Amino acid sequence: MKNSVLRIATAALLLAAFGQSAVSAAPATVTGPTALAVAGVLAPYSPLLNPGERKVIAALFNGNSRISYPKKKLSVSADTVMCRISNVAIAERSCEITFKTGKPSLKGRAANELYATLASAGVTAEGAAGSMIESVSKLSCTLDLGAIKQNAGAGADCSWQTGP
């Protein structure tokens, strides 16, 4: 309880002293089911993964933890992810994902899925001119197939920097 109050007070002090960007530029991490969801939603668009790796990650995200694959650990990473949902033109939603070797754009349901997954992982949207924007950089997820197979809540870890 005391630590929670101290953390909130520290965040409020940083926000008041330096503005929101000082607080939002901090690194973030998630583990377990939320990390698996982030990796599972991002993996289909990654040109850095081969089709077999995409299939394994899709199977894990679909609930099949008994899948076997020669690699024991898989990584999903993106240089940046920026999603925008309009709060004026409410049918508009989009995301741009920047990988080392490509920059796919998502619209509609696919963009909403990525936006919602990042929100569930704790990425806070910032408002700008009729839009809510979630932005992360240096996103990196690691899936340990052996640990996931044990069904003990471990084996998926993601980290990123928030903000531009």
Q: What whole-number distance in Å separates Cα of residue 48 and Cα of residue 139? A: 13
Residue 141 near residue 38 (C-beta atoms within 8 A): yes
Residue 60 near residue 90 (C-beta atoms within 8 A): no
- pLDDT tens for residues 30-68? 999 999 999 999 999 999 999 999 999 999 999 998 888
| pLDDT, mean of residues 107-124 | 96
Q: What whole-number distance in Å separates Cα of residue 119 and Cα of residue 110? A: 14
Mean pLDDT in the chain?
A: 86
- pLDDT tens for residues 144-154? 999 999 999 99
Q: Is the pTM of this model over 0.85?
A: no
pLDDT band at 9 (very low <50, low <70, confident <90, very high): very low
pLDDT above 70 covers a percentage of the chain that reads 84
DSSP code at position 125 = P
Q: What whole-number distance in Å separates Cα of residue 51 and Cα of residue 56? A: 9
**Per-residue pLDDT at 22 exceeds 80:** no
Q: What whole-number distance in Å separates Cα of residue 105 and Cα of residue 130? A: 20
Those residues whose C-beta lies under 8 Å from the C-beta of residue 82, and which sit 6 or more positions away, are: 95, 96, 133, 134, 135, 136
Q: What pLDDT does residue 164 have? A: 58
| pLDDT, mean of residues 69-97 | 94
Is the pLDDT higher at 99 or at 70?
99
